[in-house]
């Protein structure tokens, strides 16, 4: 199946700094990628839909100025957590759909990135 890679897998930062997480589709093009947040022992919550060449679409309650999303190419989307605070500590996961495989509905997930804000 298609491969989605996230980097970094783990990151620790100080409160007030910004952190960038990358999501890459390695062997396919993805016009749309999705960013999720997952707290321990909870489900995945969709944060935003990243659209190549246009603005991201944020879910209700997600601060767009806090979580900046850029999708500048068909294989890369980035999530920047700005002015991070301890409450932003979480597991962030991205996913992408390989349109080249037809309308199978399947999304491919990255390995996730664990953010810890001190």
Binding site for other proteins (CB under 8 A): 1, 32, 34, 38, 41-46, 49, 91, 93, 95, 97, 104-107, 109, 111-112, 114
DSSP secondary structure string, 15-68? TT--EEEEEEESSS--SEEEEEEE-TTS-EEEEEEEETTS--EEPTT--TTTEE
Least CB distance to other proteins at residue 79 (A) = 16
Least CB distance to other proteins at residue 54 (A) = 13
DSSP 74: T
CB nearer to other proteins: pick between 7 and 82: 7
């Amino acid at each position: 199946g298609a491969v989605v890679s996230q980097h970094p897998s783990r990151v620790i930062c100080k409160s007030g700094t910004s952190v960038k997480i990358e999501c890459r589709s390695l062997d396919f093009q993805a016009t749309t990628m999705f960013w999720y947040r997952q707290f321990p022992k909870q489900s995945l919550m969709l944060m935003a839909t990243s659209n190549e060449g246009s603005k991201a679409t944020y879910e209700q309650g997600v601060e767009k100025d806090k979580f900046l999303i850029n999708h500048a190419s068909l294989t890369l989307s980035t999530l920047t957590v700005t002015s991070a605070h301890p409450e932003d500590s979480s597991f962030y996961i991205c996913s992408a759909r390989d349109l080249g495989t037809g309308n199978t509905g399947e999304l491919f997930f990255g390995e996730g990135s664990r953010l810890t804000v001190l």
